[in-house]
Each structure stands twice: as structure tokens, then as C-alpha cells.
Homo-oligomer: A and B are copies of this chain.
Amino acid sequence: MKITGILTPHMVPLDARGEIHEAELRRYVDWLIARGVDGLYPNGSTGEFIRFTPEERRRIIKIVCEQAAGRVPVLAGAAEANVRETVSACEVYAGFGARAVAIVSPFYYRLSPESVYAYFREIALHSPIDITLYNIPMFASPIDVPTLQRLAELERIVGIKDSSGDVAFMMRMIAAIRPRRPDFCFLTGWDAVLVPMLLVGADGGTNAASGVVPELTRRLFQQTRAGQYEPAVKLQYRLLELFDAMLYSADFPEGFRAAVELRGFSMGRSRQPLSPSQQVNREKLQNLLRCLLTDFGVEPPPEGCPARHPAEPGPDQIGQLVNDVMQQLNRKGLV
């Protein structure tokens, strides 16, 4: 059965000591399923897989599979230090009942396409569970179309999640693979262009925004599938505003963590230390969220949508302010 719809690459709540907050994670999983996500994707980039130990990563998958309990499929992030460790994780996650694993392309070193192919091929030959490739060129060795074509010849490989955000690249992949592998699934990880990606044939997305407003990503998916492009695009614009606010408010994924907290979960502090100047602007984010929920009739907060950005200065004022600062710094010889 092909993987489709919106899967949530969810974050992991931490407790006061910085440990996995299991009860909150279970509550979060229930909340996401109740709000209609089509699947869960623990140990993704949003899930900060790299900041957990191998043991913690296994525990996360175990908790999520248990709690999902078959209600929605689990796509388990399974990349480990090397092929052997990764295959071993695949075996364990198969035992936990995951639907498939997602494996990010080799990172740190930038490998050639030939090495990327050899890496995934070796894993695919030994994995007891279906594999989706994970292409995220800003963080890991890119998977190009010819390499994907070679990998799609392996049955164990059943799909790709692409976080490049490049719609033309998605089309090139689909054009190259779908004729021979109609079962192969194409998921986008770039929330900003979910509607365009679905329009050109993507099967769904693994979208961090669905961990914050699962009601709206679901609606967007359903509207698009039903050919209701006008309301879908309108909603896409609002999700883009939220996505950008989360993505650019602080180093990824801090903005997403703050937003999940605003939906009522205790997420804890990041394992990546933050300085005071790096705090997410929660008020701005909260206003955005409130207006989104109010405008689309989803659990509208009692206070409703505040007058939108009443005191927000125009670009001139910002430009003026920046200029003032620069001139001051310049006068002091600091820049």
C-alpha cells in the first residue's frame, strides 16, 4: 500500500532534565492522530534525530509505534552511523511495526552520486522493511534523478521524500520513475509549496507544519485532491506565512518547537544551547497562529484574531531603523 497524504515529522518533547518526555510524546501522538494526520514520521530533521543517541532514537520509534497502535502508519527515520547499524535499526523498527523507514542520504561528507547509490543499495539489499529515500540537499549529499532511477529498480525502495522545495525537480523525478514504478511514492518536505507539489502529482508530504496545525494541512491536502484549488491556494498562502515565521525566527527547528508549545504541549528546551538573543518571538508567532485558527474555524481561541499587525511598521520604517543603527555603528567605527 502506497504511502500517501500528510505525515508529520514531529518533534520530541523533553522534560526538565532534557530527557525524552514519554507521557507528553504519547499525548502529542494521540493529538496528531485525532486531528487527522495520515502518518507519523519520527526521527526526521524536524525531529532532531541527530541530537539523540542511538538508544534514544530506538526508544522514540518504540513509543510512537506503540502509541499509534496501527491507527496510522509510522515512517521511522533509521539513519545510523553506517550501513550495518542502519540495517540493524531497520530490523528493530520492522519489529516495532513501522510501515517503512526513511533514510537520509549520507551527510557530513558530501558523497558522489555513485557512493550515494552504493550506500542505499547496500541497505536495500539487507533491510527487512520498506525504505523511503530522504533527499535534503541543504544538509546531506544530494540524490539526483539518474541515481534515483537506479535505486528505483530495487523493490525495497518504495518512495522518496524530497525537501529541496524545487517543483521542477519533483516533476523530473515523477517523469523518470512513475511510468515503471506506479507504486513509488513521492513526498515533499517543503511545506511552502505543498499545493503546487500535489498539483504536479506528488502523493503527499512530510510537513513540519502538520505538527502545529494538522487540521489545516489536512484540509489543504483534501481540497487539493478534490480539485478545489482556489481555497487550497488561499490556505497555502497562510501556511507559508506561518512556515516562514517558524523557519526564519530562529535556527531550525526552534520556531517549530515554540509553535507546538503554543498548541498546548510542553516541549522542553532544545539540546542545542540558545543565547538570550535567540529566543523566538512568541508573541508574533502566537498572533499568527490565533488568526489562522480563527480565520479557518479551527479551535478558535476565545480571544480571537487580534487586529492584524496593528502597530506593524512598513518597510520604510524598518529600513530607516536599520539605517539609523548602521550609521551609529559606522560613526563609532564599529563597522
CB within 8 Å of B: which residues of A? Answer: 18, 45, 50-54, 80-85, 106-112, 114-115, 117-119, 121-122, 138-140, 146, 149-150, 153, 165-168, 171-172, 175, 190, 192-193, 195-196, 199-201, 227, 229, 233, 236-237, 240-241, 244, 251-252, 271-279, 281, 283-284, 309, 311-313, 315-316, 318-319, 321-323, 325-327, 329-335
What are 11 of the A-B contact pairs (CB < 8 Å)? A82-B271, A83-B273, A108-B140, A109-B251, A115-B273, A115-B275, A150-B315, A171-B193, A201-B233, A276-B327, A281-B333
- The answer on a CB contact under 8 Å between A138 and B150 is no
- The answer on a CB contact under 8 Å between B273 and A240 is no
- The answer on a CB contact under 8 Å between A321 and B315 is no
Given known A-B contacts A81-B50, A199-B199, A193 and B175 have beta carbons under 8 A apart: no
Q: How far is the CA of A283 from the CA of B330 in the complex (A)?
A: 10
- 9 more contacts with CB within 8 A, not counting A115-B272, A196-B196, are A51-B82, A118-B274, A150-B315, A167-B167, A168-B192, A172-B244, A200-B233, A309-B333, A312-B333
Question: Which residue of the partner chain B has the closest CB to A232?
Answer: B199
Given known A-B contacts A109-B252, A168-B192, A271 and B319 have beta carbons under 8 A apart: no
Given known A-B contacts A271-B82, A315-B150, A172 and B119 have beta carbons under 8 A apart: no
Q: How far is the CA of A115 from the CA of B318 in the complex (A)?
A: 17
- The answer on a CB contact under 8 Å between A107 and B108 is yes
- The answer on a CB contact under 8 Å between A271 and B83 is yes
Point out which of A107, A146, A190, A196 has the most chain B C-beta atoms below 10 A from its C-beta.
A196
- The answer on a CB contact under 8 Å between A115 and B278 is yes
- The answer on a CB contact under 8 Å between B167 and A333 is no
Q: Min CB distance, A249 to chain B, in Å? A: 8
Question: Which residue of the partner chain B has the closest CB to A80?
Answer: B53
Q: Min CB distance, A276 to chain B, in Å? A: 7
- The answer on a CB contact under 8 Å between A168 and B240 is yes
Given known A-B contacts A111-B251, A237-B175, A333-B309, A199 and B229 have beta carbons under 8 A apart: yes
Question: Which residue of the partner chain B has the closest CB to A190?
Answer: B168
- The answer on a CB contact under 8 Å between A165 and B168 is yes
Given known A-B contacts A53-B81, A315-B149, A121 and B273 have beta carbons under 8 A apart: yes
